Amino acid sequence: MLWVLYSLLSAFSWATTDALTKKIYKVDDYIVILARFLYATPFVLLLLFFVPIPKLDSAFWFVLSLAIPIEVLAWVLYIKSIRNSPLSLVVPFLTLTPLFLVLTSFVILKELPTLIGFSGIFLIVVGAYTLNLKEYKKGILEPFKSIFKEKGCAYMVIVAFLFSITSVLGKILVQKSSPLFVSAIYLPIVSMPLIVLAFFKSRGKLTKLKSNFKNFFFIGLFFALMSIFHLLAIQLVIVPYMSSIKRTSSIFSVLYGYFIFKEKNIKERLVGTFIMVIGAVLIILF
């Protein structure tokens, strides 16, 4: 069950990165996205001194070329979501990734959870409903409607789907090389289009990358750890299972939202998050 430990460490690192990111004010979204990858790059590149470089075939580079643009789009939407909506509200929607992964993992990798695991999917949907239970008085369908009224939630649902694709592509990359090698090259390669994007979108604000060095340093560190633990876990188990455990980051995010950012409606969101996580656990155990 080593993959569970790796997934939990990835979840904690993910939530910590988000909390550190939300604490940075008056910094352009594109700069924040770039900083995650750029400041993580030195940490992951160190791995190249300790891992052998595998022989890479054309299929590896083809899959990598598919993953990069999807990854960039996902992170643009992700940063916009967590910086413009309550952290404890939007991040739990990432728990929908295992729901999407049931489809994407089966189509691409032919991986499929057990039948009992599908009951976990139902609990994930119920948990998403509970996140906005305060809207129930306006009608039983209102909580679902409010998901789409809150732009950050809509972004995060899209992100969850995009991550279901990149997770599957990431496992293929690991299978064709090694988890630590992919960890060492993936973030630096994704940084390249993000540099171009930041240059055109936020050219006059690139100095923020230097002036916020201390904050970005720790963001990069935890983001690198998240990526490393993610890829170590993904080689040991089918992707929907790993992703389900990783989405316990929702619990850490809800707690960060309450204790650090003093966000409201924490009780209903925490209950909703726990229901979603219980569903994720069912997917894993059965």
Domain extent listing, the chain: 2-285
Better pLDDT: 259 or 235: 235
Structure tokens of 253?
């995010």
Res 88 pLDDT > 80: no
Q: What distance in Å separates the CA atoms of residue 69 and residue 279, rounded to the nearest whole number?
A: 30
pLDDT on residue 134: 65
Task: Render pLDDT for 137-189 as a digit per residue (tens, 0 to 9).
Answer: 666 666 567 677 788 888 989 999 999 999 999 999 999 999 999 999 999 99
- For the question of whether the overall pTM of this predicted structure is more than 0.75, the answer is yes
What average pLDDT does the segment 112-127 reach? Answer: 79
Crossing angle (nearest 10°) for helices 179-201 and 58-84? 60
Let me know if 278 is exposed, middle or buried by CB neighbors in 10 A (0-12, 13-18, 19+): middle
- Any idea what the Cα angle at residue 62 is, between residues 3 and 93, rounded to 5°? 45
Torsion sign over Cα 58, 55, 192, 78: positive
pLDDT on residue 58: 96
Task: Render pLDDT for 167-178 as a digit per residue (tens, 0 to 9).
Answer: 999 999 999 999
Task: Render pLDDT for 255-271 as a digit per residue (tens, 0 to 9).
Answer: 888 888 887 777 777 78
pLDDT on residue 86: 78
Backbone torsions φ then ψ of 126, nearest 5 degrees: -60, -40
Q: What distance in Å separates the CA atoms of residue 257 and residue 261, rounded to the nearest whole number?
A: 5
Q: What distance in Å separates the CA atoms of residue 161 and residue 103, rounded to the nearest whole number?
A: 10
Torsion of CA 176, 177, 182, 185, to 10 degrees: -110
With tokens 């910590």, the residue in question is 16
Grade residue 233 by pLDDT with cuts at 50, 70 and 90.
very high
96-to-13, 56, 202, 269 alpha-carbon distances in Å: 19, 33, 31, 15
213-to-13, 24, 30, 75 alpha-carbon distances in Å: 19, 11, 16, 21
